[in-house]
Amino acid sequence: MIEIATLIAERFAVGESPVWDSKTQRLLWTDIPAGTIHALDIASGERTRWSFSGPVGSFGLCRSGRLVVALTDEVVLFDPASGKRETLARIAHEKPGMRLNDGKVGPDGAFWVGGMDASNTGSPEAKLYRFGPDGTVRVIAEGLATSNGLAWDAAGARMYHSDSRGDMWIDVWDFDPQAGVAQNRRRFIADSEALGRADGGACDLDGTYWSAGPSMSRMNRFSPDGELLGFINLPVLRPTMPCFGGPDMRTVYVTSLSSGIEPEVLERYPLCGGIVSFRAPVAGVPVARFHD
């Protein structure tokens, strides 16, 4: 039986984008609408927080020690030590009410991030982008409602990507980590509604894809062939994304949200918006760093 531990019982509105920094042994994450990035030193319990002027959809680690951060319509390079911020690139959304959402640094050293319609209409007008270290922006996919689920396998040869609204699918692409090219897109999971609407994802060294299912309050595990290997029920009610971390990369940290949940439901689920963890049977794929 999997034992679920409570890491942080704080109620974040939309806790997201957990990232493990192996150099500092810290877990970082964002509270999207609060526009904050948090860091926790696992050994000492020391907490750090940085604030931005608008929503922080996601972020990644840089080789320099900076963070690459997705804001509403731009990606910036942020130095936690000095507070200096440098715009890497801006994009123009199709309409008002949209913002950047789930994003991760790929094996190619670029920042891959997708958009979403934050007006809650769920219209499929968002895109998936690749932000290169030189500031170039490539559109990878279009017609998305809420881009999510980015993750790469250990070889950097497969890229996973999901849409957690609309048709609610998970796709897999062949990936070239040298050229930063994703191609041969195909359906991995045709309809994730019954599995909890695929949100954030992560891969382990065995090629298993772990996918948060917020509407079913669970973490799903899929084989490289798309077979559901099992799932783990979670006490946070609306889990948003897993990430592997810890000294042996076998601890899975899971963020969650509390926004939009009725007060009486929150009373029954006091961990909503918090962060929980559990031990995985195999280590996760180490996080890539942006080539700044």
Q: Are strands 98-105 and 85-90 parallel, antiparallel or unpaired?
A: unpaired
Q: Is-catalytic flag, 206?
A: no
What 3-state class would DSSP assign to 11? coil
What is the rounded distance in angstroms from the CA atom of residue 138 to the CA atom of residue 91?
10
Which residue has 């990606």 as its token pair?
A: 75
CB atoms within 10 A of CB 155: 11
Residue 22 burial (10 A CB sphere; 0-12, 13-18, 19+): middle
- 37 forms beta bridges with 30, 50
Q: Is 148 annotated as contributing to ligand binding?
A: yes
Q: For residue 162, give the nearest of 141, 174, 176, 148 by alpha carbon.
A: 148
CB atoms within 10 A of CB 212: 31
Residue type, 124: P
List the catalytic residue out of 191, 199, 225, 248. 199
Residue type, 89: A
- Our measurement of the distance from residue 22's CA atom to the centroid of its chain's CA atoms, rounded to an integer in Å, reads 17
CB atoms within 10 A of CB 121: 11
Q: Is 199 annotated as contributing to ligand binding?
A: yes
CB 30 within 8 A of CB 36: yes
Q: Is 221 annotated as contributing to ligand binding?
A: no
209: which 2 tokens?
């894809």
Residues making up the annotated binding site for a divalent metal cation are 16, 148, 199
Residues making up the annotated binding site for substrate are 99, 101
Where in the sequence numbering do the catalytic residues fall?
199
